[in-house]
Structure 1
Amino acid sequence: MNELAANTSPLFNYGVLAIILVVAFIAWFFVNRASVRASEQIQLLEALLEEQKKQNALLRRLIDAQPESKAMQDEEDAADSRDFIRLIPER
């Protein structure tokens, strides 16, 4: 084993070091790219969440502005519960 260590040239050692550096840079590139893409996706999801919150607030204001719609919906729910027989498939 000592003969192999004594016979290795510095050029071989630099070649191995260069290969390790290239592999490390390639791995760093892919990890960095994945990190950037994940950050972009998080920003897009946060923007989507804010838009949904705005839409929910707007819908809540619209529902609160129409008090008669709740009474109509209660009547429709009662009618749907009476028509339960339509949900049973015939054989």
Structure 2
Amino acid sequence: MNELAANTGPLFNYGVLAILILVAFIVWFFVNRASVRASEQIQLLEALLEEQKKQTLLLRRIADAQPAPASAQQETEENGQRDFIRLIPER
């Protein structure tokens, strides 16, 4: 009986080692997958930011090209110091 227990020791150790390696690969797979997805989302957000900047530029051009009514021009001149409040800062 002792001989059987002594012979299964190394086999048991290899089995535990194989299971640990398998678990490590599974964990690595999911961590790597999450990292790749996060990188893709960052790229998409950066592309969205660029599109928003282009749209903002186009809207400013359109707004500048349209003539403002006389009352709006006077109000704009009077409230020139408050114009910065309406701007949304970019990050």
TM-score normalized by structure 1? 0.67
Equivalence for 1:31: 31
- Which of structure 1's runs of 4+ aligned residues deviate more than 6 A? none
Give the paired residue count: 70
Equivalence for 2:44: 44
Relative contact order higher in (CA < 8 Å, ≥ 6 apart): 1
Q: Specify every segment of 5 or more residues in structure 1 that has no aligned partner in the other structure, as ranges.
A: 1-5, 75-91
RMSD: 2.4
Deviation at 1:11, TM superposition (A): 0.6
Deviation at 1:8, TM superposition (A): 5.9
Q: Specify every segment of 5 or more residues in structure 2 that has no aligned partner in the other structure, as ranges.
A: 1-5, 75-91
Percent of aligned pairs with the same amino acid? 78
